[in-house]
Chain A
């Protein structure tokens, strides 16, 4: 059973500031979906390797410097100064 407390915990882990209404609504739907995913538990897969895609790679790229002066990142945020992007404080 998925509790409201657990949904609040998932919201915190996902860094989502949900309202109480949202938590109530999502709780019902999330529980339905998780119950559907629970069917994975009904099969025993202890002998199976979780390996769906294999590609042998034994190649190294050359250690050369190239200049990507095509991409201008200065316009992606207006909260920047002297090449640094402004962020919220840590505490």
Chain B
């Protein structure tokens, strides 16, 4: 019964079903683990003080042979920009430091309907704006592989908590790589689904045409399990696709003949240790009957397009923070409209304020055509190029990140240098295709992730090839915590 926190989601569910241990046993161990190590990792912002009660209620039902949901036993960490009813949801911002949502996001409601337990809310860059989880008002999260190093971001707490065995799985959000980047830096699996496959109802908006909620876990099977619960049409989000109402993804070991395309520009621009590992990953895949070839994707303008669109949408989506319907305690008595708003909005962090202002700039009537319209056109071209590539190959491969994790504070002063690390991940958001980061190995004990991308709504193919890669790469290491 010891070290239940090392088990995967599948193992937890079967252990609970076979009465090997109770859900209460598991949750107690997780809470103790969080208590022991989270002051080093700082993955959590809030622990759900109802988690143990929920576990006990479920155990009672199991004992009296009543039916429980398919996720009974699973403990999920929820990124703190996803609304959880009656549990503080702060987006790591001073502006929302006291906000308690009166409703659950659709993804949270669906998890709870299957009896998953919300163990707590995890850390992020403020309003999901960042790639290192250094820009939140609760301070940085620390990499479980080396606490002096960044976890990646913006879903840094989601990745770190899974890697550090503080929860079974977690949910993050991915606007330009915010699930895949921390998954790569923390050596866990992280998926950004096809745009529209998972409801964004209850996700605090940053950039609504780019972002998706997605799962992070220690195995591909765990990711598939969560996707089967959270994915599917939602009438509360009219950007969700109605092709899938009830998903039925499988995580099988089926071998298929797959054509891989290695995006050569992204490998060439990577750290040498990373490109070396990517090539050896391709050798592993080739020895399993898979063919690969080099392909070219000109994504020179993709990053500029991404940041233009993301910042423009952010300036619009964050205009709602007027401290009247949600916010913190600050009496509007005596204030005039504009001065009240400007004063409370100064509680945004530096990175958020910069992005809102640049967003305003690119949407100005004199500049709109030069920036925003051009960025949307670049997006169209990129989509066309990617679709062409998917006629030639089935799966696109690249390193998830062009760099290894770096020290906390190292890149904090150079915004453009920080933005450049998103180069490999933004394409999938701009085009709307699904992409996954898989643990691929290490360099000097720092994790490296491999990114696989398929055409839109081809998640089953993505899961099949991911499961196959996972079994040949066989990365079994755990951080020393």
Contacts and interface: CB of A to CB of B under 8 A. Distances in A.
Q: Do A and B bind each other?
A: yes
A15 interface: yes
A32 B383 CA distance: 28
B340 interface: yes
A36 B304 contact: yes
Contacts of A64: none
B-side interface mostly: helix
Contacts of A72: 102
Contacts of A89: 335-337
Contacts of B300: 39
Given A14-B360, A33-B307, A75-B100, A40 B301 contact: yes
Contacts of B374: 40-41, 43, 45
Interface in A74-91: 75-79, 85-91
A64 to B, nearest CB: 12
B195 A16 contact: no
A-side interface mostly: loop
Nearest to B383: A52
A88 B322 CA distance: 10
Contacts of B209: 53
A87 B335 CA distance: 9
Given A17-B346, A85-B325, A89-B337, A45 B357 contact: no
A79 B376 CA distance: 41
B345 interface: yes
Contact of A16 (B324, B345, B358): B345
Given A88-B335, A89-B336, A48 B415 contact: no
B432 interface: yes
Interface of A: 6-7, 10-11, 13-18, 22, 25-26, 29-30, 32-34, 36-37, 39-41, 43, 45, 48-53, 55, 61, 70-73, 75-79, 85-91
7 contacts: A16-B345, A29-B354, A34-B361, A53-B432, A76-B325, A88-B335, A90-B337
Interface of B: 99-100, 102-103, 195, 209, 235, 241, 300-301, 304-305, 307-308, 315, 319, 322, 324-327, 329, 331-333, 335-343, 345-346, 348, 350, 353-354, 356-362, 364, 370-371, 373-383, 415-416, 419, 430-432
